[in-house]
Structure formats: C-alpha cells, structure tokens
A and B are shown apart, each in its own frame.
Chain A
Amino acid sequence: MRVLIVEDEVRLANNIAEALRQRCGFAVDCAEDGADGLALTEYQHYDLLLLDLMLPGLDGLGIVRQVRRRKDMTPILILTARDEPAQVVELLDAGADDYLTKPFDLGELLARAKALIRRGKGVSHPVLTLGRISVNTVEQTVRCAGQLVDLSPTEYRLFEYLIFRPRAIVSARELLEHLYDYNWQHHSNVIEAHISNLRKKLRTVGEETTIATIRGRGYRLEAPEKQL
C-alpha cells in the first residue's frame, strides 16, 4: 500500500511516514505544500491520502475538492488543528472520508489509515481470507490453515495487495506504483523475483493457491475451485 502525506510541518510528516512504514509496511511519499501534493495525487498511485488542512499553496479542502472532481475514489484522511463542527461538516461534505484533530495519537492514526484503505478496497474486517489462506493486516501475518507462512516484509506487502483483489489481474506496474515510494528505483524484475519467492513459500506449506503470471498483463492470485 502507498500513502501520500501532504503536511508542511516536516517533522510531523516524517514521524507519520516513519510510523506508517514501520508499523504498517506502507510505502509513503511526503509533500510539503498543497500544490505539490495535488500534483502527486494525479498519478493515482496512492491507496490513501493524508492531508493537513492548513497548507501553503493549496489547502487540504482544496485538494479534496480537486481529487473528488476528477472522480478519484482514493480514501482521504484529513489532519486538522481546528475541529469546529462546521469545518468538519464542510470537509466531509467535500468528499473527505475521515478526520483527526492535532495533536492526535499515532496509534489511532495508523488504525484509521488501515481501516480507510480496507474500506477503500471493499473490505470491512482486518483479516482477509481466500480459501485456506488468511491474511491478518493488523499483525501483518499470512497463515495457511492456521500455519504461519514466513514472509519477508516486501513479500507480505505484495501478497496483501494481491489478496485485496483476489482473482483480478494486477499489472507489475501497478504493484510497483502501489508498493514503493518515489525513493525507490523502479525495476519490474524486482516484482518478478518477489512473486517467485512467494510462490515457493506458499508451496512449502502445501497451499494450492498460487499467483499466476498472465503474460503481458500481470499477475493473478488464484485459488483452486474446490476451496472456494
């Protein structure tokens, strides 16, 4: 998952980014000003937008309006130092999904961020299952019939992204865009390597669910018919 933080208070943005990377395994980009933030959202790489309300350039509300105007459904969480009801109503009405007032609890922010991403992908529970496989997004673990599958952080992130959209074809490009931030050099063969490792690890625990390569189009998480 990839998150964009638009916050002019650099120390705060860095703290949130660090927490999201360490605790949720998300890729995080930061922008310090509203206009830069809006420009980044146009790529639609993000699974969540975290916006400060008072920003130089363009304020959080302005970004929300622009994003929603172009029918971008990405979940938006607003950070605000002001919590007047009228302003909250205006924000939510403009298309924001949730808000947190500063100073907030970092744990709460992470939980809300994960919940919003989940909801954005049509899932309500933090544990996702496909056949015998279950992915716990809180613990960041994958189990096959109760047995823990030992995955590296990157493998876990890849698998988590795929299981949110089972049986859908996901391109390598999309995986790159949603799993790595801008500090990462993009190489699609990195994805191929991780997919290959994932397949091996799933096979070792005797799981028949696998990640199929659809040539020229991408990857698909496939579960055998009998397990459905």
Chain B
Amino acid sequence: MKTTSLGRQLIAGVLLAEFICAASFSGVAVMHEMHGHRRAFDVMLRGRGDSLLGAVQDAEDPDDNVTVDPTELVVPRQDLYQVLSPTGRVLGQSPATAAELLAHLGGTNKPGYFNFTVNGTWYRTIRFNGVRVIDREENGGVGLRRPVTVLYASPTNGMWHQTIEAVQFYIVASAVLLAVTGLALVWFLRRRLSPLQELAAIAARVSTRSWDFVPPAAVLRTSELAPIALSMDELLKGLRQAFERQRQLTGDAAHELKTSIAVLKSSLQLLSMSPRTTDQYAAGLDGLQSDTERMEELASRMLALARLEEAPAEPGESCELQVAVQAVAERLRPLAALKQVVLDVCARDTARVAIPADDAEVLCSNLMMNALQHSLPGGHVSARIQLHGSIGELHIVDQGEGIPEAALPHIFERFYRADRSRSRNSGGAGLGLSICKAIVERANGTIHIQSVVGKGTEVWVTVPTTPPHDGASLGG
C-alpha cells in the first residue's frame, strides 16, 4: 500500500496556499499599477492632444482655413497624430502617420480613448473635438470659429515597462518571502510533528516479545496525541496481561501434565526395576490405575475449561438450577454420609437460567463437593436456591475449615491450590473453581466466595433467569 506523509502533505498544502497568495497579490498589484499608469497615460495623451490643438494655426489662405504648424509642436517622434476638419479633410498629421493608422482612425467619429495595433505595436489614442478661433481682429474681436477633430496616438509599450518596473519589487519581495516562510514552515512543522513521529517509532517497536511502550513527554503534552498514547498504553497493558496469563496458563498446564506423566512413568519404571512379588505388582498396578484416573480427570477438566472459555454459550440453552442442585445432592449423599456431614438442600424456587444442564450440574457438583471435602465430621452443608426478582441465586454454606485470607484473591485462578499437597492428594487439579467461574460468567452471572478460617465458607452464585421457552416472554 502506498503511504502518504502527513508532514509532507501539510508542507505542500501550506506552500501552495502561500504561492497562491503571493501570485494573487502580485496580480492585483500589477492591475492596480496598470490602472494608475493608464490614467496617467490618458492625461498625458490629452495634454499632448491639447498641445497639438495649440499648434493649429491660421493657414492665412483665402478660405481662412487652419493648418497644423509643425514648428509650434514638440512631441515624441514615435507618437502619431492627425488633425481633421469637420469635412474630413486632413489639416495636418505626424510625418510617420501610416495608412493603417488612418484606416483605424477613420473608423469611428466618437470622441474618447481607444486602442489599436500597427505592426505589433500597441497604441492608445484620444480623439476629441476642438475649436480654433482665427482672425479675431479682422472680425471685430469675435473671430472665425474653425472646429477641428484631433487624434493623438502614443505607443503603450512604455507604459507596460513602467508598470512592470513598479511591480517588480512586489513580485521579488513575494518570492523571497515565499522561500523564507517555506523553509521556516518546513523546519517548524518538522519540529511540531516530531511527537507524532516519536509516537509512531515507539509504537512500531512494540511486539509480543517487547511490550515496552513509554510515550515520550512531548507526546503526552500534545492534546491530540495524548489520548491516543494513553489508550494505546492501556490497550497494550491489557494485551500484555492477557498474553502473560495465556503463557502462564500454558506453562501451568504443561507443568501439570508433565508432572502427571512423570508420576506414571516413574511408577512404571520403579515397578520394572527389580523382580517383585505378585502382591507388589498388584499394589503397583492399583497405584498406576489411580494415577491414570487422576490424569484423565485433569485432561477432561482442562478441556472443559478450554471449551467454556473459547466458545460462547449457545443461545436458547437453559436449565432449571434447582433441578441440577437436587440431582447433584442425590449423587453426593453417600459421600456426605461417609464424611458424616449433613447435606441440606432447599430448592423450591424455580430458577431457569441460561446454563446448559450439564454445565449446571458441573457447577453445583464442584461447589458442593468442595464444601463436603472441606467439612469436618458432624458438619453441615446447605445449598439453597432463591429467586430475587429476575435473578436466581445459589447459596452454598459449609462449616468447614475455611480458606486462608491470603488465598482468597487467587481461588478462581487456574491451577491455584490453597493447600497444594492436600488438594493433589484429594484429586483436585486446581481447576474446579475456574470452571465454575467460566460457567457462571458465560451466563452473565457472578460468583462470589467469602470464608473465615475455622468457621466455614459461603459461596454465592447469581445468574439472571431466562424465559421458560425460547422466544416466548414471561408475560405471554
């Protein structure tokens, strides 16, 4: 994928805007200057035309005509002029006046300014009508009025040169400013965008092997970047914990499995190390049998936990919690009797929850089994199902030895055993409560344990109840 640089885009954008500004400014300056020069030019044309009118003299001929006296007239050589009588007769014209000029001049009779080109040279022309009074003395001071039309043209290239010269300063100044501010901008943006680059560099270094993500102070001081950096930090911490939990879990699982295999292997090797009596072999086989069963239990619990944690609950699966409690209680009665523990079940409320029937039995049997195993002879274990509105509650209380305070925060951790050697001997792999928690949380429920050493343990499981049939609500 082609990548674009934010910094370069910004620099290019700002430089473009600056260039457009400078160009517009120069253009406006040129136009303004042109306008001024044109007005001055027009005034100059008028002045020269007036001079031309002044050069119109009495021709001193019998018809009392007027003519242009070139000796009276001093005008630039490249200028063109013509003086016409109202009848269109040429009274005088510049020596260089060409036929083309005449053609242009003859086209219109309106007074005013107009432009034309001759041989690639631009001319601006003024046409105005004037009156020349002659023979004032001979006619009683009134004189003879001789109207004339004056045409005066001057090339405009001089005006262009002047305009360009006047505007040149502005254009050069704009270009220099553009260059200077452009460089300053590049430097400034690089500097200002450096937190972004630092953030990118640090983020790029993060991997599952190296979790270090310390946003630089400059990033945290930038209001746009700080939220990104902080949420990345949070995210990475969470990810890292998840990874470490996963690694820990894999390690723990490997440890449990390898230890189980080590027990089996060493038992077998010990048995075959030297000849044994039939009784010794039989005892060894018994041991192997129970080792294998333990390993089987471990494997099935690990798989159960993996299944619970990986796949989401199937919608529509539900069971009645009180049925599960009753069923488990019936199964545990012989054990309770053996341990001389009174098992008291109170499950009259109907609590239909979104837990598959098998899982509900696993939940109840894990919790009640724990209570029984940790109870002393003569103790009492009660399991109660109650409905609190739309919440079903399973409450299991024992009067057993309790859980040490230091162990309480860890009891739901996988492979955690408050008393490892004892739990191992009683067959646990430290997965029972993790499985319970996974089952309950899959049904959006909570599990909570309170315990006092020497007094006993209380377990609360609360799970939202579900409608009795899929799709049908309680109200009908």
Contact = CB atoms under 8 A, between A and B. Distances in A.
Interface of A: 8-12, 15-16, 18-19, 22-23, 32-33, 54, 56, 79, 81-82, 101-107
A104 B262 contact: yes
Contact of A103 (B256, B261, B273, B425): B261
Nearest to B294: A11
Nearest to A57: B420
Interface string B249-282: 0010011101101111111011001100000000
A107 B255 CA distance: 21
Main secondary structure of the interface of B (DSSP, over half): helix
B421 A81 contact: no
A141 B122 CA distance: 131
B294 to A, nearest CB: 9
> Considering residues A15, A19, A33, A56, which has the most beta carbons from chain B within 10 angstroms of its beta carbon?
A15
B270 A101 contact: no
Nearest to B288: A11
B287 interface: yes
B265 to A, nearest CB: 5
B258 A15 contact: no
A16 B273 CA distance: 12
Contact of B270 (A9, A56, A102, A106): A106
Given A54-B255, A82-B251, A82-B254, A12 B262 contact: yes
A15 B270 contact: yes
Given A19-B273, A22-B274, A56-B420, A11 B267 contact: yes
A136 B258 CA distance: 34
B424 to A, nearest CB: 6
B269 A106 contact: yes
Contacts of B251: 82
Contact of A102 (B258, B417, B424): B258
17 contacts: A9-B262, A9-B263, A11-B267, A12-B263, A15-B270, A22-B273, A32-B421, A56-B421, A81-B256, A81-B262, A82-B251, A102-B261, A103-B265, A105-B265, A106-B269, A106-B273, A107-B273
B255 A18 contact: no
A103 B262 contact: yes
A15 B261 contact: no
Nearest to A54: B255
A216 to B, nearest CB: 41
A102 B259 contact: yes
Contacts of B417: 56
A116 to B, nearest CB: 18
B42 interface: no
Contacts of B425: 10
Nearest to A32: B421
Contacts of A82: 251, 254-255
Given A9-B424, A103-B262, 12 more contacts: A9-B259, A18-B270, A19-B266, A19-B269, A19-B273, A22-B273, A32-B421, A56-B417, A101-B258, A104-B262, A105-B265, A106-B265
Which of B256, B259, B266, B267 has the largest count of A CB atoms less than 10 A from its CB?
A: B266
A102 B251 CA distance: 13
